Amino acid sequence: MSRVLITGAGGFIGRVAVRAFLAAGWEVRAAARRIPPDADRQVEWRAVGDIGEQGAWRGIADGVQCVVHLAGRAHVLRETEADPLATFRSTNVEATRRLASEAASAGVRRFIFLSSIGVNGVRTDNAPFRETDMPQPSTPYAISKHEAEQVLRALGESSGLEYVILRAPLVYGANAPGNFARLATWIRRGWPLPFGAVKNRRSLLFVGNLADALRCCAIDPAARNELFLVADREAVSTPDLVRLLARALGCRSHLWPVPVDLLRAAARVTGGRLTLDSLLDSLVVDISCIEQRLKWTPSNSLEEGLRATFPAAR
């Protein structure tokens, strides 16, 4: 039986990935900052503390065939660090470098790294993002993810460690943090939302679809040393997302058609530009590469993913 190491296993995505690999018959070693109180007893848990520290990964990859690296510093809604890029680099770049080196030394066959569609850029206009696009990371988070990708590629070439890089858009599902949770809260409270005039398209990714893509990348020989963009099959406008979320939550949506230019002006004044841009701009992902190379396709539609996210509302 093959054994996989999943980092960030106590997080929103990690917990779903652990269940997916267990269901597929893998032995799972789960690394987390601290072992959760409801830890699955089928899993070998390792508490690693702060992964930015030297020695956090020592011996962690011994006896495993595949590493799925999900741990890292994610988007921060209200940044408090004096030098955010340095903090992101410590956790997302240097910790990835040390883990990949540990994996190579331990004889791990394949290393799967969860990156971000932000490496491609923050918006699409006339064409969707593809694997062949020139990277245009613009935020400290996206810059750190791009640098981690480069570190992994270089180490793979020098050591023979196989790597797979997945770039994902916003991931949603039960207990999702960040902007998705914020939007769901607004809808649940019945607040009127000023997005009725928005005419954008955005790709999202259901966490169950992501976990299945990770599992596929762990076993398919065609994934070796590849980059894939991954998302749900359909993109959605912000007004339609609000309506679908309201339906999944079992409540009504309240959309007002406020002019987009007025919303952008208000965001500049209030300092909420980055959050609002993610609701106003388009960001569409082309997943034809992973569909063709790995014969993988998202098993859950957007509407199915949203229903699974809020099962108690039905």
Instruction: Using alpha carbons, list the distances in angstroms from residue 86 to 7, 79, 98, 111, 268.
Output: 21, 13, 16, 24, 26
35 burial level (CB within 10 Å; 0-12, 13-18, 19+) = middle
Look up tokens 């009504």; give the residue: 252
Active-site option among 45, 111, 141, 180: 141
d(CA 84, CA 82): 6
For 161-178, letters b (16+ CB in 10 Å) and e give bbbbbbbbbbbbbeebeb
Kind and range of the H or E run holding 154: helix 140-159
Alpha-carbon span 49 to 57, nearest angstrom:
10
Does residue 141 have an active-site annotation?
Answer: yes
Cβ neighbors of 166 (< 8 A, separation 6 or more) are 112, 113, 114, 115, 210, 213, 214, 217, 227, 228, 229, 230
114 forms bridges with which residues in the sheet? 166
Q: Is 157 exposed, middle or buried (0-12, 13-18, 19+ CB in 10 A)?
A: exposed
d(CA 228, CA 288): 9
Active site residues: 141
